[in-house]
Amino acid sequence: MVTPPDPVSLSDGQPAASSWPGLMDHIQPHGWLLVLQGDDLRIIQASANVELLAGQPLAAILGQPVRAVIGRAAANLLGRALAKAEPDGLGPLPVTVVSGRGRHRVAMQGHWDAGGFVLELEPLSMGNAANGAINGFGTAIRRYRHISDVAALSAAITHDARLLTGFDRALMVRLAGAAPPEVVAVSCASAAVEDGPPFQPLPPSILALLELNRVRLLLDIHAPPVPVLPVLNPVTGQPINLSRAALRPATRMFEAHARARGVRTVLIVSILCGGRLWGYLWCESRRPHSVGLHVRALFEGLGEIAAAQIGALEERTITVLRSAANRGLARMGRLLREHASLIDGIAAARTVLGEILPHDQMAISMDGRSWSSGGGPSPAHWLRLLDAAATGRRDGLRWIERAAGSVDQDEIGMADVLDIELHGSHLLLLRQAGRRWSPLELEVAQELHHLLADRHAELYRRRTEQQLHKLANFDRTTGLPNRDHLLRALEQALAVGMEVAVAVIGLDRFRYVKAALGEAASDQLLAAVGQRLRGAVSAGDLLARIDTGEFAVLLVEDGAARFDALAAAVRDALRTSFPLEDREIFVTGSLGVVTHCGKEEAAAEMLRDAEIASAEAEAAGGGGRRVFDAAMRARLTERHDLYDRLRQAIQGNDGVRVVYQPIIRLSDGKLAGFEALARWTDPERGPIPPTIFVPVAEETGLIVPLGNHILVQACRQVVRWNRDRQQPIYVSVNLSPYQLDPSRLDIARWVQGVLEMTGCKPEWLHLEITESGLIGSGGAAPGALKSLRALGVALAIDDFGTGYSSLAYLQELPVDTIKIDRSFVTRMEGSEKGLALVSAILHIAGIMEYGVVAEGVENPAQASLLREMGCDRAQGYHYAKPLEQDMATAMVYEYDIGANGLPSGASATA
């Protein structure tokens, strides 16, 4: 049998050991490698030392069948083995190689690669020192089954591995993810070996190679590796990749690692538990130490037995720990359910949490609250640390992953932080250095995250249900029950036959108060009113806010008899002012009540009737009270019916017409113009007085389309009258405050459009607005009137003297004329004060250069007095009642108004 060449003899002409490339296209010098291609297994690449095995130059070997190197018998055995080989590879198989240098007993193994079949040949040898260990190997394996501790098992296997292989020292190294590797067992042949340099675990870059080869023998790490030639594989055009080859040499890093400890030979077996690299069994010798094929097979089996037994022990331990953790999680779930807050539940379960996830400190940030155990740093401190560090992540978890051997700590000694995150909330568990989070603990933390997430979702659902219930049943501004809540309570009371009463408290003119104060301030006022009313309502009664400025009280148990007491209590509660934004606000309330008389009545109808009674009380001046009766509902129904009919009449241009009352110039008795007035005749009800339908139009907003309709008709008519007149007359049209509201109508643009559409000249149109209308329109009136005056339209203040305008305010308005209200004209006769008041108005008008029209002139005496006092114009029944269009036209074209102000041939009583 030919022994392998001396490694030293193969180093001639090779680079120094310190400069070995450590590439994957070299092999260890104690074996041989051939790369075969084709059915006849021709050699396309070979290690440089094959020349010594074959006894012929490498150039002569390349291209020959493999039998030219290993002999016909070995080649036939290789062919049969390849036909039955697994996809992963072949061998190892003991075989006798017959070559030019003689017969060699070798182990033959190989694997397929893109460049061909890689065949490895390694001499068979067996060290005598291991014979005794081999004989007792079976007994040792049976002993492992009775060891129930991973540490004891590791020690036994490591000891047996050293005896089996005959190496100087054996070690078992455990890998723990990102944590530093740990030497769990060491066995040394002598004290001298034990006192050697400390073992340094393999770096991560080398650990990856352990998963490719379960067993690795590095016979002499100091010996230079042998290259595979030619360098480029003829098939792939690339260097052959020998990462899976058993003869692969040590990498440069591995060689430096071993040389630093004085090691020459290393035998390694990977320990794979459940497909995971748990660790490795390492045997080392300070001198070259050959290991036979059967010893290596036993060593590999020892690694598999170790993996199986360690996996079983760890699974048993994990099962026990997981069972304990499940019990702890169940206890923690019960404690969490006992508290309405998640942070309180976690604080109550601290002991249980410490059992399932041992920790040194804890910090919590949840639902706007923060807490730290032991007065440590705030949760924000640990979250910043996590953000700055390298972290591991899993659904809902984040923890610090430190590099192997790292001892980085926080300033208070904490090195490892685990963050369990819940929708922006955080449970932080802290540990001191060296106590890493194990995979099982991270699994428990994951289960805890699910438990906390479920409880968080349950609490969120409860809070949401409570909020929805509150939103559905309570008013947000005052915190009082809302309309729906009151109706349900009323329905329940009616269902059991209780004698109840419902009182509605409407805050008088609250719409204007809200417009003046704004939304926020009016809400503060409502909240203050609600607080006051709580004190006015008996404990057994229910107070609710049912509308913008309306509250309601459900009076139970003799509610009708207690209404007077409630009205007095409400009046006293609202008597004093409400301080609001550095001012005092006074409010009054109008009360309406409806009582249950034992007959069938729906809750909604009772509340509606109480609201009707409250509205009637406010319409009567506010601050009063009304008891509902059927006539109130009839009046309300009547107004709604009137509204519907008026709307149809305006939209259909049917029933609403314009009548004209003449305006006479007092100086010469000539016709100056007409005031256009609206009249409505319903097809079913007949004529409806303006005193009835105009307030309805103003309340409902119909006054805007009604006013627009009158304006268009009046402009068209005055155009017809002035078509052939040398002295044009004008038409005067009343404006409503609603028409001055820019949110409803751009009045100046509208009037301009009407003038253009009808051909009416601006000076033929006068627009009137009352003093009360100026105040009711808020701050919109001056701007709107100035825009109208810019069009050339004349402006007049109607019913002068009956409103609240100051002369200073009126002086700022661009008006041309004031109209003296009929009440002053009527009191002018027989009353010196009345006469003096009209004279004063005329004097003021003269100073302010206003024209004057006196309204309500009903006899010659009044006309004569007004003419003598210098009044410009007049209108009233003395001249004519409001005339239909044809009669007004006749008056324009056929009648000559005389000096006495009457048509020719007509009398004042006509």
Residue-level pLDDT at 665:
94
- When mean pLDDT is compared across 207-211, 359-363, 506-510, 680-684, the lowest value belongs to 207-211
Higher pLDDT, 12 or 109: 109
Contact predicate 628/609, CB 8 Å: yes
Residue type, 772: S
Would you place residue 179 in the very low, low, confident or very high pLDDT band (cuts 50, 70, 90)? Answer: low
pLDDT at 283 over 50: yes
Contact predicate 60/43, CB 8 Å: no
Mean pLDDT of the chain, nearest integer = 83
* 193-252: pLDDT as tens digits: 666 667 777 766 666 667 666 788 888 888 899 999 999 999 999 988 888 888 988 888
Would you place residue 47 in the very low, low, confident or very high pLDDT band (cuts 50, 70, 90)? Answer: very high
Assign residue 422 a region: left if phi > 0, alpha if psi is -120 to 50, beta otherwise?
beta
Between strands 794-800 and 765-770, the pairing is parallel
HSE-up (13 A, CA, CB side) for residue 312: 11
Q: CA distances (Å), 394 to each of 380, 436, 445, in order?
A: 21, 16, 10
pLDDT at 725 over 80: yes
* 469-479: pLDDT as tens digits: 878 888 999 99
Give me the mean pLDDT over the 558-584 stretch: 87
Residue-level pLDDT at 417:
85
pLDDT at 2 over 60: no
Residue-level pLDDT at 453:
86
Structure-block tokens of residue 120: 């490895």
Residue-level pLDDT at 513:
85
**DSSP-based three-state secondary structure for 741:** coil
Share above pLDDT 90 across residues of the chain, in percent, rounded to a whole number: 30
Give me the mean pLDDT over the 616-630 stretch: 86
Residue-level pLDDT at 212:
66
Dihedrals phi, psi of 54, to nearest 5 degrees:
-85, -20
Residue-level pLDDT at 752:
94
pLDDT at 432 over 90: no
Give me the mean pLDDT over the 419-426 stretch: 85
Listed residue (567, 506, 579, 23) closest to 255, CA to CA: 23
- Separation of alpha carbons 251 and 22, rounded Å: 5
pLDDT at 115 over 80: yes
Residue-level pLDDT at 384:
84
Quick one: 806 exposed, middle or buried, by C-beta within 10 A (0-12, 13-18, 19+)? Answer: exposed
Residue-level pLDDT at 137:
67
Residue-level pLDDT at 897:
45
HSE-up (13 A, CA, CB side) for residue 287: 3
> Residue 92: is the preceding peptide bond cis (ω within 30°)?
yes
Fill in the DSSP letter of residue 557.
Answer: S
Give me the mean pLDDT over the 310-332 stretch: 86
Higher pLDDT, 900 or 615: 615
Contact predicate 449/396, CB 8 Å: yes
Would you place residue 31 in the very low, low, confident or very high pLDDT band (cuts 50, 70, 90)? Answer: very high
* 871-904: pLDDT as tens digits: 999 999 999 999 999 999 999 986 544 434 444 4
Structure-block tokens of residue 3: 């022994």
Would you place residue 306 in the very low, low, confident or very high pLDDT band (cuts 50, 70, 90)? Answer: confident
Would you place residue 576 in the very low, low, confident or very high pLDDT band (cuts 50, 70, 90)? Answer: very high
* 734-778: pLDDT as tens digits: 988 888 888 778 889 999 999 999 999 999 999 998 877 776 555
Share above pLDDT 70 across residues of the chain, in percent, rounded to a whole number: 87
Would you place residue 17 in the very low, low, confident or very high pLDDT band (cuts 50, 70, 90)? Answer: very low
* 841-862: pLDDT as tens digits: 899 889 888 999 999 999 999 9
* 64-102: pLDDT as tens digits: 999 999 999 999 999 999 888 887 788 788 999 988 778
* 769-804: pLDDT as tens digits: 887 777 655 566 788 889 999 999 999 998 887 765
Listed in sequence order, the residues at least 6 apart from 688 whose beta carbon sits closer than 8 Å to its beta carbon are 642, 646, 680, 681, 682
Give me the mean pLDDT over the 674-684 stretch: 92
Q: CA distances (Å), 758 to each of 713, 716, 718, 754, 764, in order?
A: 9, 5, 10, 6, 12
Residue with tokens 């300070």: 286
